[in-house]
Chains A and B, each alone.
Chain A
Amino acid sequence: MSGFPANVPAWAALLAAGLVLFGAGLTFIGALGLVRLQTFYERVHAPTLGATLGMFAVLCGSVVYFTGAEGRFMPIELLAAVFFTATTPVTLIILARAALFRDRTDRSGEGVRVPLEGECEGVVRTPPDVVTDPRRSDAPQGR
């Protein structure tokens, strides 16, 4: 079985498919960041791609398709978009803070220099040569 039912106009179906495909591609690129980026603090940026524009594009595709199918505008996806926009940052912020807390207490930091507590001046760079070799894990194991 392929295609879409006759009650959906072709432009709505194609626009919806395009939006869903775009969002899915963006989410995939974001997930790819989990593989390609080298330290935890870089990787924590990766899921934001799927959580913002990726999620928004997929939900827009859904709105377009079902508006075309039912002939009325009832964007329940809007509710999900608002909910996920508000929640995903919360997860990431708590996760980043937890990682910082752990790196401060055992000073391992995966080769990344993390700013210490009370240190509140300027920019703390992660020199590229300090970034660990991805094949080697010098993080404490078994935690």
Chain B
Amino acid sequence: MIRAVLPHPLLSFALFGASLLLSDSVAPPALALALLMALAAPQIMRALDVEPVRVRKPLTLLSFALVVARDIVRSNWEVALVVLGLNPSGDRRVSGFVHIPLEMRDRYGLAVLAVVITSTPGTIWVEYEDATGVLLLHILDLQDGDDWAERIKNRYERRLMEIFE
């Protein structure tokens, strides 16, 4: 029953909030418009036949967001030092590509991982091969002893698999 009216509950909720913010009020007309958006837009998604997102563990999502926020702040600092030439490794800094085999296959999990990795300054998601599940990253400061595969898998992939799979 609820699936018929709200095939994508998260999307409806987000659109409702976004519409209210854009209207800049919570008066009845703004609420009506937001409700219309929240009910109509998912019907278009139904025509596109998109698989709905299922978040299995919202609390893990919260802790994941905290981990990501901390990493983004820290690596902003590190990349700023690299750009200003103040990083500890100095001129011996080496950048390069790293291949990481991933176990996650969920499309939404991979999408979140791509956004997180690229949003973290100093690492960028370059390519992902569907058939083998191998991810190619480019890393700005490739220090010895830094195991990037471990870092990506332990910090992000494990949590994302808990959330989405």
Contact = CB atoms under 8 A, between A and B. Distances in A.
Interface of A: 26, 29-30, 32-33, 36-37, 39, 41-42, 44-46, 48-49, 51-53, 74-76, 78-79, 85-86, 88-90, 92-93, 96-97, 100, 114-115, 120-128
Contacts of A121: 99
Contact of A48 (B22, B73, B114, B121): B121
21 contacts: A29-B80, A37-B83, A42-B140, A46-B79, A48-B79, A48-B122, A52-B120, A74-B21, A78-B21, A79-B21, A89-B125, A93-B118, A93-B124, A96-B124, A96-B125, A96-B126, A100-B127, A114-B97, A115-B136, A120-B99, A123-B97
Nearest to A77: B21
Contact of A123 (B118, B134, B142): B142
Contacts of A128: 91-94
Interface in B63-88: 72-73, 76, 79-80, 82-85
Contacts of B76: 26, 49, 52-53
Contacts of A127: 94
- The B interface, classified by DSSP as helix, strand, loop or mixed, is mixed
Central interface residue in A45, A124, A126, by most chain B CB within 10 Å: A45
A117 to B, nearest CB: 9
Interface of B: 18, 21-22, 24, 72-73, 76, 79-80, 82-85, 91-99, 101, 114-115, 118-127, 129, 132, 134, 136, 138, 140, 142
Contacts of B125: 89, 93, 96
Contacts of B80: 26, 29-30, 49
Contacts of B136: 115, 120
B75 to A, nearest CB: 9
Given A96-B126, A96-B138, A45 B121 contact: yes
Contacts of B92: 128
B99 to A, nearest CB: 5
Contact of A115 (B24, B82, B97, B101): B97
Contacts, number: 124
Contact of B119 (A48, A122, A124): A48
A64 B72 CA distance: 22
Contacts of A39: 95
Contact of A51 (B119, B123, B142): B119
A30 B83 contact: yes
B78 to A, nearest CB: 10
Given A45-B79, A52-B119, A125-B142, A74 B72 contact: no
A33 B79 contact: yes
A76 B24 contact: yes
Contacts of B132: 120
A109 B111 CA distance: 27
